[in-house]
Amino acid sequence: MSVMSDAQPAVSAPEMNQTAVTHLPESLSLLADVLPDGILLVDADGRIVIVNARLLTMTGYTESELVGRSVDLLVPKPRRAVHARQRKQFTSRPGVRPMGTELDTVCCRKDGSSFHADIALSTTTLGGARHVLASVRDATQRRAVEQERRETEDRFRLLVEGAVGHTFILLDPEGRVATWNLGAERLTGYTADEVIGQPASLFHIPTDIASGRAAGLLRTAALTGRAEDFGWRVRKDGSRFQASVITTATVDASGHLRGFSEMTRDISAALQARDDLERLHLLEQQERLGRDLHDGVIQSVFAVGMSLQGLLSRTDDPAVADRLTQSVRALDDTITELRKFIFGLGSMLTPDALRRELERLITEAQSCSSIQITGVIDGDALVRIGDHAHDLLLVAREALSNVQRHSQAKRCELSVRFEGNTVVMSITDDGVGFDGSAPTAGLGLRNARSRARDIGADYGVESSSAGTSVHFRLPIGS
């Protein structure tokens, strides 16, 4: 009875004539009957010679129903043919197959039902003839335990894999990293050796550290027990991600601070999906606006122009005719500008278009003032700025406007360049400077800072009596 393996369908073995039963000594027979495993002794032709009580209990057969019959009787019918071939192969090349080889082995009961079994095989010689000794163990419970274990492991694996983008770390009372797990390593790129003992501010952007925002989160948690933050965090490679962070203070029985637990979740994908949806809605609104402008406003302006042209043929006054002609031309120009505006709605600001707009800003600012304004624009930076071209342009417009109105400068330079993994725009003048922290600093400056923060950029202003420098830095790949 070599295999009884799951990989082996078969046909019913024919009835075999009962052979002479080889009786074990009484002491061995008693031992076989108390063993926890079923015992089968099978001759070289595959006929059952001896069975023990445990095997009979497992299969539901009586001894007389098995002894002298083919061992294939204990194999489910679809597997018997293959089992018979493999049994003969084992007999021709005998060996030892230990228990627990994890073959998908199935035994058949008398009532037609089946059960998974672990089967150990070995050969022995009785009365000068070779026999196969099989130990059969019901593996149903073991299989059930293994299946439950596999399902539990699968659930745990799915939970861990589904938690990619989450970290849970512990900080000591001073805010230094005390524990570090695989999730934190995946999210930030740091190994445990690199961060254990480092301050949690390691993961904050420079402006949040400088403003005290990073340290303030721990103070809030220590005072109130909990602090929540939505903002930018930094990976080891310098790239940024938007995170939801919950910091909880842990205290001992006496209420003394023992440290903090910090759960961080990468919400970049969720925010990107939100932004994509908002962009789609904006495009839909732009399309409706363009359609309304074309079908409504332009047609109305065109109708007014036609009316004015009709009046031209009714007047002999040259001055009136000239005034009407200028008005018609102005309306034509208005229609042209409206059509350009409609065409531009929803169109992306390409690198070439961004360069032209920046150069136009410089030209207009210089023409409206006595300041000598120059531009140094790196095309590689314009390519890499991508979807944030409008943000960079608006920041440049606000900065140049401030230079014109307030700086009293003689010279100003606007530069856009790519440094490392960051697009950097600088607007520097040699004017009188100003106090950027003063309440009169203006709404434009606050808007520029807010705009930069919203897209993960750094916006800084350095000003003194020797002049002012505005810096806009946007990491690429964040």
Cβ contacts of 456 within 8 Å, gap of 6 or more: 205, 232, 240, 242, 474, 475, 478
Kindly give, in sequence order, each residue whose CB lies less than 8 Å from that of residue 111, ignoring residues fewer than 6 positions away: 60
Q: Characterize the bridge pairing of strands 372-377 and 411-419.
A: parallel
Give 134's strand partners.
40, 121
Q: How many residues does the chain have?
A: 478
Which residue, chain included where needed, has tokens 């008398």?
110
Q: What is the pTM of this model?
A: 0.36
What are the pLDDT tens digits along the chain (478 aa)?
333 333 333 333 333 333 444 455 554 555 566 667 888 888 888 899 888 888 898 899 998 999 999 988 898 888 888 888 877 777 777 777 665 555 678 889 999 898 888 888 888 877 778 888 888 888 888 788 788 878 876 765 555 445 555 777 889 999 999 988 788 888 899 998 999 999 999 999 998 898 888 899 999 999 999 999 988 999 999 898 889 999 999 998 888 999 999 888 888 777 777 766 666 666 566 666 666 665 567 667 767 777 777 777 778 888 888 887 888 777 777 766 666 565 555 455 788 888 988 998 888 888 778 899 999 999 889 988 887 888 888 889 888 888 888 888 999 999 999 998 899 999 999 999 887 665 545 566 777 888 888 888 999 999 898 899 999 999 986 4
Q: Is 102 left (phi over 0), alpha (psi -120 to 50) or beta?
A: left
Superfamily holding 163-266: PAS domain (3.30.450.20)
* Residue 17: per-residue pLDDT: 37
Predicted pLDDT at 294: 58
pLDDT score for 16: 35
Question: What pLDDT does 9 receive?
Answer: 35
Copy the structure tokens of residue 209. 């550290």
In angstroms, the CA 28 to CA 247 distance is: 70
Phi and psi based region of residue 325 (left: phi greater than 0; alpha: psi -120 to 50; beta: remaining): alpha
Laid out side by side, the sheet with 114-126 consists of 48-51, 38-43, 129-138, 114-126, 106-108
**447: which residues sit within 8 A by CB, 6+ positions away?**
398
Query: Domain 26-141, what architecture?
Result: 2-Layer Sandwich (3.30)
User: Exposed, middle or buried: residue 5 (CB in 10 Å: 0-12, 13-18, 19+)?
Assistant: middle
Question: Do 477 and 386 meet the contact criterion of CB atoms below 8 Å apart?
Answer: no
Q: What is the 3-state secondary structure (H, E, C) of the chain?
A: CCCCECCCCECCCCCCCCCCCCCCCHHHHHHHHHCCCEEEEEECCCEEEEECHHHHHHHCCCHHHHCCCEHHHHCCHHHHHHHHHHHHHHHHCCCCECCCCCCCEEEECCCCCEEEEEEEEEEEEECCEEEEEEEEEECHHHHHHHHHHHHHHHHHHHHHHHCCCEEEEEECCCCEECCCCHHHHHHHCCCHHHHCCCEHHHHECHHHHHHCHHHHHHHHHHHHCEEEEEEEEECCCCCEEEEEEEEEEEECCCCCEEEEEEEEEECHHHHHHHHHHHHHHHHHHHHHHHHHHHHHHHHHHHHHHHHHHHHHCCCCCHHHHHHHHHHHHHHHHHHHHHHHHHHHCCCCCCHHHHHHHHHHHHHHHHHCCCCEEEEEECHHHHHHHHHHHHHHHHHHHHHHHHHHHHHCCCEEEEEEEEECCEEEEEEEECCCCCCCCCHHHCHHHHHHHHHHHHCCCEEEEEEECCEEEEEEEEECCC
Say whether 163-266 and 26-141 share the same fold.
yes
Q: Domain spanning 351-475: which superfamily?
A: Histidine kinase-like ATPase, C-terminal domain (3.30.565.10)
Domain ranges of the chain: 26-141, 163-266, 273-344, 351-475
Calculate ∠ Cα 108-112-114, nearest 5°: 40
Q: Quote the CA–CA distance of 221 and 219 in Å, as a whole number.
A: 5
Q: Measure the CA dihedral 373/446/450/238, to 10°.
A: 60
| 110: CB partners within 8 A, 6+ apart | 59, 60, 61, 65
**pLDDT score of 318:** 84
**What is the token pair recorded at 19?**
């052979």
